[in-house]
Amino acid sequence: MDPHVLIFPLPLQSPIKSMLKLAELLCLAGDIAVTFLNTDQLHRRLLSCTNIHSHFSKYPQFRFETISDGLAEDNPRTADRFMELIDGMEAVTKPLFREMMVNGGCLSSSSEKPVTCIITDGPMSFVFAVTEEVGIPLIYFDTISPSALWTYFCFPKLIDACEIPITGHDLDAPVKNVPGMEGFLRRRDLPSFCRAEHLKDSDIQFYLNAILFFPRSQGLVLNTFEELDGSVISGLRSFCPNLYPIGPIHAHLKNKLASQVTPPPTASSSLWKEDWNCIEWLDVQSPKSVIYVSIGSQAVMTKDQLLEFWHGLVNSGHRFLWVIRSNSIAGENSWEGRIPNELLEATKMRGCLVTWAPQEEVLAHPSVGGFLTHNGWNSTLESVVEGVPMLCWPCFLDQQVTSRFVSEVWKLGIDMKDTCDRAVIETMIRNLMGVRRDEFVESAKQMAKLARESVSEGGSSSTNLNSLIEYIRLVRL
C-alpha cells in the first residue's frame, strides 16, 4: 500500500496551523498521500478566511475530511471552555472517527486508500484508543512548547515533592524536580494550571493523560530545533526514543517551498480574516521603530488589563501595531465606547489597531523592532526566526515556562510575567525597544541564524524530517 498519512489536529488555531504546515511538507515528499481531518465548524471558518482549498489543490495526493466536534454551532470554542471541547469530542467525535477507521469506513483498511499512519495531538486520547484497535502506527505532534511538555513528564515527581499545587506565597520558590531547569525555574514559571486556585485533580489527570500515550506511540514530532531546545529534547528522548524535532515548522516549509521551481505563495491558515492594511502602515514606519502586540488566538484580557496595556503603550512613546482579536476582552462586547479620548487620539498618531494580522509577515517586516507577546509556541518560534526581541506577558498553559526560557536561557527578551501595570509596561517597552535593546539584538540574530540553518539541507530539523518521512514510507509495507 502507498503511504497515506491521516493528520488529525486539536481543533484550535495554533495546532491547525502547525499541522497544515506538516501536511504540506509531507506532500512535498512526493509519494505520500495526506488526509487532513478538521472539524466541520473550524473547516468552514478556515474556508471563509483563507484560500486554503485552492492552495492545496496543487497536491493531487492531498484531501480534507471533516468531522463534528460535538459542540453547538454557537459555542465560542475559546480556551476558557476547552474542557467542553474535549468532552464534546469524546462523546461525538470518537464514535464518528471510529466509524471512519473501521468496517469499510472512508479511511479504513478496506477503503480505496487505507490510512497507513496517523499523526495527531496529545489531548485527544480517544485517537490512541481507535488507532490501537485498528493496529495503525500513531505518531504524536506536540504543538506546544517542548520545555513545558517536559514539565508535564515531571508532574509525578513535583506532586510527590509537594512542589505542586502552587500557592501564592511560594511563587518565587525554585523548582527542584524538573531535571535541567533547576538553576532558573521558579514555581511561578510552571504551567498556570499548577497553581492551587486553578488546580483540580481532573486537570492534573487530564494533562498526565495527554502525555500518557506518548511513550506508547510510534513517535513524537516536536515543533522546535535541537539548537534551541537541546537539553529538553534529550530529556523527552528518554521517554520517547523516536523523537522528530523538525521545527520551526513554518520556516521549514517556507525553505522547502523556496527551493521549488515555481515557489507558490505560502497559504494562510487563519481562522480570522487577516487585515493586510497594517502592512501598508508598517511600510511608512522607520526601521525597528514599531512594537507589535498580540496575545494569540485563545488568551483573553479584562477591560482593566486592556486599559493598562493601552496607557503603557501610549506612554512609552513608541509606535505600536496591536491585534485586539474579537472575543479577546473577557466579558465585554462593546468595550470600544469606553476608551478615554486621549488614548484614542494618541493611537491615531502612533498606533495601528487590527482584529487579526498576517503575523508572520508582520514579524518579518523591517519596521518591527519588538514583539509584546503571550508566548504561545507558534508566536514564540515566529519571533525567534525573524530575530525579533520579545516582551513576554504569558497567560496560561505552556506560556509561563516559555517566557522564562526567553528571558533567562535564550536571552531573547524580557519576562513581564504576572504584571499588568501601565508604568511597568511603559518601562519594559522602553527597555526592549531602546534602553536595553542591544542586550537582545545580538542573541536574537544568532538564534535566528541557527533556526534557519536547522531547516536548511543538512540541518538538524531537515535531517529529522527526512527520518520521519523514511519511517512513514517504511510502515506502509
According to the binding rule CB under 6 A, does residue 88 interact with ligand UDX? no
The 1-40 contact track toward ligand UDX, x by CB under 6 A, reads ------------xx--x-----------------------
- Rank residues 308 and 398 by Cβ distance to ligand UDX and give the closer one: 398
Q: Which of 50, 298, 454, 464 binds ligand UDX (CB under 6 A)?
A: 298
**Helix residue ranges per DSSP H, 260-412:** 277-283, 303-316, 341-350, 359-364, 377-386, 399-404
378 binds ligand UDX, rule: CB under 6 A? yes
Residue 192 binding ligand UDX, by CB under 6 A: no
DSSP secondary structure letters along 3-26: -EEEEE--SSHHHHHHHHHHHHHH
**Residue of 360, 386, 415, 426 that binds ligand UDX (CB under 6 A):** 360
Query: How many chain residues interact with ligand UDX (CB under 6 A)?
Result: 25
Q: Residues 319 to 358: which contact ligand UDX by CB under 6 A?
A: 323, 356-357
Half-sphere exposure of 344 (CA within 13 A, CB side): 7
**For ligand UDX, the closer CB: 104 or 265:** 265
Residue closest to 370 by CA, chosen among 353, 387, 390: 390
Residue 70 binds ligand UDX, judged by CB under 6 A: no
- In single-letter form, the type of residue at position 44 comes to R
Does 400 interact with ligand UDX (rule: CB under 6 A)? no
Given the complex with ligand UDX, which of 116 and 402 has the nearer CB atom?
402
Number of helices and strands in the chain (H, E):
20, 13
Task: State how far Cα 339 lies from the chain centre.
Answer: 31
Give bridge partners of residue 392 from the DSSP assignment. 373, 415
| Residue 403 near ligand UDX by CB under 6 A | no
Residues 35 and 4 sit within 8 Å (Cβ to Cβ)? yes
Q: Does 405 bind ligand UDX (CB under 6 A)?
A: no
Q: Which of 144, 243, 329, 429 binds ligand UDX (CB under 6 A)?
A: 144
- If the CB atoms of residues 35 and 224 are measured against ligand UDX, the closer one turns out to be 224
Positions 251 through 280 that interact with ligand UDX (CB under 6 A):
270
Binding span for ligand UDX by CB under 6 A among 19-27, 208-216, 391-399, 463-471: 391-399
Please name the residues in contact with 103: beta carbons below 8 A apart, sequence gap of 6 or more. none
Are 305 and 425 in contact, with CB atoms under 8 Å apart?
no
Q: Which of 247, 376, 387, 459 binds ligand UDX (CB under 6 A)?
A: 376
For 139, list phi and psi in degrees, rounded to 5.
-120, 135
In order, the DSSP letters of 183-235 are TT-BGGGS-GGGBTTT--HHHHHHHHHHHHTGGGSSEEEESS-HHHHHHHHHH
List contacts with ligand UDX (CB under 6 A): 13-14, 17, 143-145, 270, 294, 296-299, 323, 356-357, 359-360, 376-379, 382, 397-399
